[in-house]
Structure 1
């Protein structure tokens, strides 16, 4: 099978989609900070994929891409809470998060400051710009991709069809709904 990259911004359902891929038997990395992780996993999500999807496509031209969407009314408060929790480590000039996390967040959320963490207009602009750029890239490069919203009733079946696996006729697992991963719940 060709690689699958999940190009969902944080808080769009990457944890849930990764769990679904694991349940379908795919080796899955929810975040990949080393080349070895990307090479060894069949499915890779979150950081750095949401920022580096073009580079990954050049490296893996036969890869498939899943663009995760989430309604803005739900995503905006969720991403704002996440950024608030991340702020100390994200904005630290002496340590904090690793350089990959910082690079991906500051590139995707260009102009992000502590004052903009709660600025829904700024965050919506970042979301829409990311979506527009990613979908334009996929269309222009004739990339094999699908857009999914994990809240849609048919999402799991669409995922199975896209991955060429038998339909499971079940709902997508719902993990990390409140911002803290609760593995084992569906």
Structure 2
């Protein structure tokens, strides 16, 4: 069962691309924390895709992957705002976020590091993730790398997915500034609940 995985880090446009793909008729989960959410969705973005793409690649053969880039001078302050809000809920024992989400962020951002919000720490996290993605997909044709702020990036995505698009169309610009939860407010019949329950209830993959 092939999927489309958006493996860019948070604040690189994962919400914008998720909304754009909803408009193309895909069933989309922006974050997915159960097996069933992955089964139901055609497209899964954000956590834990950005940390678990090798495991998901093995579980869902013939899938396509989209890596999102963003100018570090814009990404870092945006990520600092996000992590400032999320940090208390990412704590291993007392944080109320999904264990899958906490693990994904801890693996990628070392969330217990006292330097978490510093420019140097976040820069290192971003560059390490980018290098790991590039190394993993070397020689393969199933990864597209785009910056959604660039002209024709939406057209590049549509071409990669075998779809047609308006030559003037652009990605919606969501979660601007301090906004971090526009996905929840966005209404669409094809949105998939991140905590969807199925035959295994709300269990995650055992990998």
Same topology, TM > 0.5: yes
The reply to whether residue 94 of structure 1 matches residue 94 of structure 2 is yes
| CA distance 1:92–1:60, shift in 2 (3 Å) | closer
Of residues 147, 150, 170, the one that matches 1:152 is: 150
Kept in 1, the 8 Å contact 2:3–2:42? The answer is: yes
Give 4+ residue runs of structure 1 displaced > 6 Å after superposition: none
Single out whichever of 170-179 and 125-134 deviates more from structure 2.
170-179
Question: The residue matched to 1:55 in structure 2 has which SS?
Answer: helix
Structure with greater helix share of residues? 1
Q: Deviations 1:7-34 (Å, cap 9, x if unpaired)?
A: 0111110000001101111111101011
Structure 1: distance between partners of 2:155 and 2:22: 15
Q: Deviations 1:27-57 (Å, cap 9, x if unpaired)?
A: 1110101111111111100011011000000
| CA distance 1:58–1:89, shift in 2 (3 Å) | same
Kept in 2, the 8 Å contact 1:148–1:155? The answer is: yes
Kept in 2, the 8 Å contact 1:156–1:168? The answer is: no
The reply to whether residue 79 of structure 1 matches residue 63 of structure 2 is no
Partner residue, 2:128:
129
Q: What 5-or-longer segments of structure 2 have no aligned partner?
A: 187-207
Partner residue, 2:199:
none
Q: Deviations 1:106-142 (Å, cap 9, x if unpaired)?
A: 11113x33632321111100100000001110115x2
The reply to whether residue 43 of structure 1 matches residue 43 of structure 2 is yes
What's the TM-score once normalised by structure 1's chain length?
A: 0.92
Q: Deviations 1:60-117 (Å, cap 9, x if unpaired)?
A: 120000001111000001111111001111125224212111100111113x336323
Aligned residues: 182
Q: What 5-or-longer segments of structure 1 have no aligned partner?
A: none
Give the superposition deviation at 1:168: 2.1
- Aligned-CA RMSD value: 1.7
Higher relative contact order (CA 8 A, sep 6+): 2
Question: The residue matched to 2:114 in structure 1 has which SS?
Answer: helix
Structure 2: distance between partners of 1:172 and 1:60: 27
Q: After the TM superposition, which residues 100-119 of structure 1 pair with which residues of structure 2 at under 5 Å, given as runs?
A: 100-110=100-110, 112-113=111-112, 115-119=114-118
